[in-house]
Structure 1
């Protein structure tokens, strides 16, 4: 809407102030013109009547007319009751044939006075100019009126800018919960809303990184402690079993660090290429062979990121191997332009209250010991990789027991 635009408000404020100036100047000029000239005409009429009062003979009146013309700098002409020219002074020394027309730039004015004996006196002269003090007072009055009229609009705009500045400064000082006050629907309100949305995203990102760092530090302690103990034992009693334990802990650390880095990149809004041609069935078969899982289904090729898709399938299979029971089945099917990848195990499945949080990072089910571990970042990465490819991941509980995880991806997935 036009009234919600900031530049329109400022422009209308300027136009209103200019209109107010014009009205004030016009009013003062109009009133001053008529009042000034009316008062001057009255005084001039009285003055002429006194100076040229009746009883003076013709020579005396002519001399007085000449003196008045010199004193006032005016042109004067006298007429009798019948309109006959009697005498004159100045440019009207002789009878004027007609009153000369005034030019627009001429400051001369015509005045008339009637003597007691009916004699008509016509004068043409320049009225006195108003004193300089009146001009200064008029300018000050106009400036004051304009300032008073413009103040409410200007203050309304600057007050909202101050509120926006305070919110930004408070947020910049480290209070990530601070937000700008949104008032109205113009550009200032749009900037405030945009800042609040950006602050929400930054706060969510910072909180996510803090949570990731805290949980990752906690998860790293267990394999590090086991690795330290295995190294100490290996120094005193080298054996193949201890070497295997060291290799196992190192592999676990390497996998956890890789997942942390991948999770951090997925959460940082950095562009990730998803334009590679990936044979999903072949990729799933390679990962299934590592955990002795069976695989079946349709051969399908999708567009995506092979590294992230491989990590997604690997995490689903490792989750089934760690927390479920064999056999583990992998199945691919294509329905309505979407490919569905399912991974099923035959363990105890999940409780109903755990299903809602199964894709949270480092979620540990109730009653599970620290030694047994939680879900870590595996399933959280599965959900984020699915969203990266415009798909979704969800859990389903089969009727005959076990756990079933499904990832739906569009066959023609493009970059997120």
Structure 2
């Protein structure tokens, strides 16, 4: 997905975990600081009780030695003026007492306690004395990372199902009406997939029924039209003149319309062309031009396709130009960037503004055009259908001067 839902959901999960971890770490650290402050006060009170200010030097030295042996530590007691009063083990230099660092080389921990009477007790311990102030952020980060890794397959599974659903809808929208998506699970995504399948099946059934009805109706119309044409021909001596000529033209138009409807219905039902072979578009256009009186020019251009359908495409473009435009009508075949291009142009009034795309709609009639003048029928609609089945495109161009120009671009052949 271009705007990946998976990335958004997963980043949201990770961001939530990071916020929870940081907030938890802050609260835990604040609690540990309060605990450490309470412990420091009790520790200083204990040391002050063990080393009272009025102790004689011999008793002070004996007490310091007992504490040193009990805690396996080097202990030094300094007076308010910095004079060493008592020491056990290696003395702790005064320059180390002022340092903020509490972990010294060799893995020793330095404990400094300042008594109310101004004395300073410094102890170099091999093991920490009191609670260890380790930060919990590393543990919280580890927990968040573990949850994030566990959430990855869950989020990916959900978004992969949504992506599969989107791809199915795209394929169905492109015309593959038999597309269905897999229904897995019993959650909301599965419900949406099942609803899509039901809707797609219903629409496909309705369209199939519509196409079948249209094809059958068009086919059935051919029989009465043929009988009417035969009756007019048999009664040619009794009926002559403008009325008969009008009847013949109307029957011919109806017959052509039925044929176009049948062809449009057939093109709707096929997914790929039944007969594909190399076709020289210039030769085909020249043949149709000679039949309809259209001047054809250009250079040979070979396209791959169904000759019958390509002939119908060229014929419809020429007949459309003659019917709705004005002479001279010309056709040109050339190559542009490896593609074969067919252009059919007339010199009539051109298309009304804003109708360049709408003329490819079936039975389109521009605003203000009378019923007598008629519309574009299925001619240009069939041109676009045939072009699409050949991988080609068709468009309307505004030529210099009057008239209309329709351009069909076929892909380059390998």
- Structure showing greater radius of gyration is 1
Give the TM-score, by structure 2 length: 0.47
Give the TM-score, by structure 1 length: 0.47
